[in-house]
Amino acid sequence: MECHLDREIDIDRFRCKGCGACAEVCPDAFRMDEDGQKAEIIDSNEAPDEVIQMAVAMCPTQCIELRSVKREGETE
C-alpha cells in the first residue's frame, strides 16, 4: 500500500487578529481575506516547510496549526 505524508495547515479564524505577519513571511501559503481582517490559506504545497514554520512562529496568537497527515492507499 502506498503511503506518504502531506502537510495540512489550519487557521483558527476566531483567534486570528489580522496582523498580516503570516502573509508577509510566507505569501505562497497565506494571504489576507477580502476585508483584510483575517488570514486565509492559499496553497500549503507551494511554500517550503521552513517558511511555513517561520510564519507559525511569528503568529502572535498561535492560531496557525501545521501538521503532517499520513495518507494511505494513494498513488502519486
Quote the CA–CA distance of 17 and 36 in Å, as a whole number: 10
Query: Does residue 68 interact with ligand SF4 by CB under 6 A?
Result: no
Residue ranges in 46-65 that form contacts with ligand SF4 under rule CB under 6 A: 59-61, 63-64
What gap in Å lies between CA 69 and CA 8, rounded to an integer?
7
- How far are the Cα atoms of 11, 74, 75 from residue 31, in angstroms, in the given order? 11, 29, 30
For ligand SF4, the closer of residues 12 and 49 by Cβ is 12
Residue of the chain from 4, 6, 8, 17 that contacts ligand SF4 (CB under 6 A): 17
| Contact footprint for ligand SF4 (CB under 6 A) | 11, 16-22, 39, 59-61, 63-64
